């Protein structure tokens, strides 16, 4: 299966403690060789300027109103992406690009 930036996938995410995994939705931001850089997707409301609440979550294939957390990025082997959910709408994609361009930068 081909993975493309802008797609929502279910990923097998390892707990930070290293004690297991959980299947979670993610948004693929870009591909780097056999890896995918992804942002966490959650049903929780925004909690920072780096969160983007999705307007078109239903047409993107998500089951619940969702937020993309640009502050929660992971670099995963593409083999950990186990099922495609859908594709981000152009409207929501533009919101994410705007937040990324205006707010994401190293803090050192």
Buried b (16+ CB within 10 A) or exposed e, 26-42: bbbbeeeeeebbbbbbb
Domain boundaries, the chain: 7-103
Query: Does domain 7-103 bear CATH number 2.30.30.110?
Result: yes
User: pTM for this structure?
Assistant: 0.93
3-62 confidence digits (pLDDT tens)? 999 999 999 988 877 788 899 999 999 999 999 999 999 999 999 999 999 999 999 999
Phi, psi of 82 (to 5 degrees): -105, -10
Whether residue 1 is predicted with pLDDT greater than 80 in this model: the reply is: no
């Amino acid at each position: 299966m081909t993975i493309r930036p802008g797609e929502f996938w279910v990923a097998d995410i390892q707990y930070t403690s290293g004690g297991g995994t959980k299947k979670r939705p993610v948004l693929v931001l870009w591909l780097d060789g056999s890896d995918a850089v992804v942002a966490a997707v959650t049903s929780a409301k925004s909690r920072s300027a780096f969160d983007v609440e999705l307007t078109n979550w239903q047409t993107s294939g998500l089951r619940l109103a969702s937020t993309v957390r640009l502050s929660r990025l992971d670099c995963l082997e593409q083999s950990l992406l186990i099922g495609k959910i859908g594709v981000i709408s152009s409207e929501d994609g533009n919101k994410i690009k705007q937040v990324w361009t205006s707010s994401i930068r190293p803090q050192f």
